[in-house]
Structure 1
Amino acid sequence: MSRLIVISNRVSRPNKSGNQGGLAVALAQALRESRGIWFGWSGETTDAFTGHIGFAEDQGVKTATIDLEEQDVDEYYNGYANKTLWPLFHFRIDLAEYARDFEGGYNRVNKRFAETASPLIEPDDVIWVHDYHLIPLGQMLRDRGLKNRMGFFLHIPWPPTRLLVSLPHHSKLVSTLFAYDVVGFHTEEWLESFRHYVEREMGGTVDGDYVTVGDRTIQAIACPIGINAQEFKDAADSETAQAMFGKVRASLQDRPLVVGVDRLDYSKGLEERFNGYARFLKDHPEHHRKIVLTQIAPPSRGDVESYQQIRATLDSLAGRINGEYSDVDWTPIRYVNQGYPRDELAGIYRAAKIGLVTPLRDGMNLVAKEYVAAQDPKDPGVLILSRFAGAAMQLKDALLINPYSPEEMSDAILRALAMPLDERQRRWRAMMDSVEKQDIRWWREVFTSRLMAVEREPAAAETEDAAG
Structure 2
Amino acid sequence: MQGNNYIPPLTPRSRLERLLRERELRKSSRYTQSTEDGRDGNKESEQLSDSFLSENEAEDVAETGAADDRPRKQRLLVVANRLPVSAVREGVDSYHLEISVGGLVSVKEFDTRWIGWAGVNVPDEVGQKALTKALAEMRCIPVFLDEDIVNEYYNGYCNNILWPLFHYLGLPQEDRLATTRSFQTQFDAYKKANQMFADVVNKHYQDGDVVWCHDYHLMFLPRCLKEYNDKMKVGWFLHTPFPSSEIHRTLPSRSYLLRSVLAADLVGFHTYDYARHFVSACTRILGIEGTPEGVEDQGKLTRVAAFPIGIDSERFIRALALPEVQNHLKELKERFAGRKVMLGVDRLDMIKGIPQKILAFEKFLEENAHWRDKVVLLQIAVPTRTDVSEYQKLTSQVHEIVGRINGRFGTLTAVPIHHLVSVINIQLWF
- TM-score (norm. length: structure 2): 0.73
Determine the structure 2 residue equivalent to 1:413: none
1:36 paired to 2:108 = no
- Where in structure 2 are there 5+ consecutive unaligned residues? 1-71, 88-96, 176-182
Unaligned runs of 5+ in 1: 343-364, 367-439, 445-468
The alpha-carbon deviation at position 147 of structure 1 amounts to 1.7
Match of 1:171 in 2: 255
1:235-246 paired onto structure 2 within 5 Å: 235-246=319-330
Distance 1:257 1:282, change over 3 A: same
- Where do 1:112-191 residues align within 5 Å? 112-191=196-275
1:222 and 1:240 map into 2 onto residues whose CA distance is 38
Contact 1:76–1:105 (CA under 8 A) maintained in structure 2: yes
Match in the other structure for 1:100: 184
Task: Confirm or deny: 8 A CA contact 1:48 1:69 kept in the other structure.
Answer: no
CA displacement at 1:47 relative to structure 2: 3.6
Query: How many Å separate the matches in 1 of 2:387 and 2:100?
Result: 22
**Contact persistence 1:36–1:62 (CA under 8 A):** yes
Structure 1 residue aligned with 2:349, among 261, 265, 276?
265
1:261 to partner: Cα distance = 1.2
1:145 deviates by 2.3
Gap change, CA 1:100 and 1:14, over 3 Å in 2: closer
Q: Is the 8 A contact 2:289 2:295 kept in 1?
A: yes
SS at match of 1:259: strand
> Following the alignment from structure 2 to structure 1, what is the Cα–Cα distance between the partners of residues 193 and 100?
25
1:25 aligned partner, one-letter code: V
Per-residue CA distance 1:85-113 (angstroms, 9 max, x = gap): 11111111155873111111111111111
Residue 68 of structure 1 aligns to a residue whose secondary structure is: coil
1:277-323 CA distances to partner (integer Å, 9 max, x unpaired)?
A: 11211221111111111111132212212111211211111112112
Check 1:217–1:153 CA distance in 2 against 1; reply closer, same or farther (3 A cut). same
Match of 1:9 in 2: 81
- 2:337 equivalent to 1:253: yes
Write out aligned runs for 1:420-459 (5 A).
440=429, 444=430
Change (3 A) 1:175 1:49: farther
Deviation at 1:19, TM superposition (A): 6.0
Partner deviation per Cα, 1:354-382 (whole Å, 9 max, x = no partner): xxxxxxxxxxx97xxxxxxxxxxxxxxxx
Q: Which amino acid aligns with 2:421?
A: N
Structure 1 position 251, deviation (Å): 2.1
**Residue in 1 that maps onto 2:160:** 83
Identical aligned residues as a percent: 31
Q: Specify which of 234, 257, 274 is matched with residue 318 of structure 2.
A: 234
Q: Does 1:69 align with 2:146?
A: yes
Partner of 1:197: 281
Tell whether the 8 Å contact from 1:19 to 1:340 is kept in structure 2 after alignment. no
1:138–1:55 distance in 2 versus 1, CA, 3 Å: farther
Could you tell me which of 281, 289, 292 is aligned with 2:365? 281
Is 1:54 matched with 2:132? Answer: yes
Report what 1:208 is aligned to.
292
CA separation of 1:212 and 1:9: change in aligned 2, threshold 3 A: same
Q: Quickly say closer, same or farther: Cα 1:202–1:340, change in 2 above 3 A.
A: closer
Whole-angstrom CA distance in 2 between matches of 1:123 and 1:279: 60
Equivalenced residue count is 340
Distance in 2, matches of 1:157 and 1:302, equals 22
CA contact (8 A) 2:85 2:99 kept: no
Structure 1 position 42, deviation (Å): 1.2
* 2:225/2:232 contact within 8 Å kept: no
SS in 1 for 2:379: strand
Identify the match of residue 423 of structure 2 among 328, 332, 339: 339
Task: Give the CA deviation at 1:49.
Answer: 9.1
CA deviation map 1:17-46 (0-9, x unaligned)? 99666653332xx2xx43221111111113
Cross-structure match for 1:292: 376
Deviations 1:325-369 (A, max 9, x none): 112222001111222468xxxxxxxxxxxxxxxxxxxxxx97xxx
CA–CA distance in 1 between the matches of 2:367 and 2:297? Answer: 54
How far did residue 162 of structure 1 move? 1.3
C-alpha RMSD over aligned residues? 2.6
Shift in Å, 1:241:
1.9
Q: Say which SS state the counterpart of residue 242 (structure 2) adopts.
A: coil
Cα distance in 2 for partners of 1:18, 1:100 equals 35
Q: Contact conserved, 1:12 with 1:24, CA < 8 A, in 2?
A: yes
Change (3 A) 1:280 1:19: farther
The one-letter code of the counterpart of 2:104 is A
Mapped pair 1:24 → 2:104: yes
**Using the alignment, how far apart are the partners of 2:319 and 2:86 within structure 1?**
17
Contact 2:135 2:142 in 1 (8 A): no
* Larger radius of gyration between Structure 1 and Structure 2: 2
Question: How far apart are the structure 2 equivalents of 1:96 and 1:36?
Answer: 42
Contact 1:43 1:67 in 2 (8 A): no
Q: Tell me how far apart the structure 1 counterparts of residues 255 and 270 of structure 2 sit (CA, whole Å).
A: 22
How far, CA to CA, are the matches of 1:298 and 1:159 in structure 2?
25
Residues 25 and 302 of structure 1: CA distance in aligned 2, closer, same or farther (over 3 Å): closer
> Does the 8 A contact of 2:84 with 2:99 survive in 1?
no
Read off the aligned partner of 2:105 and give its amino acid letter: V
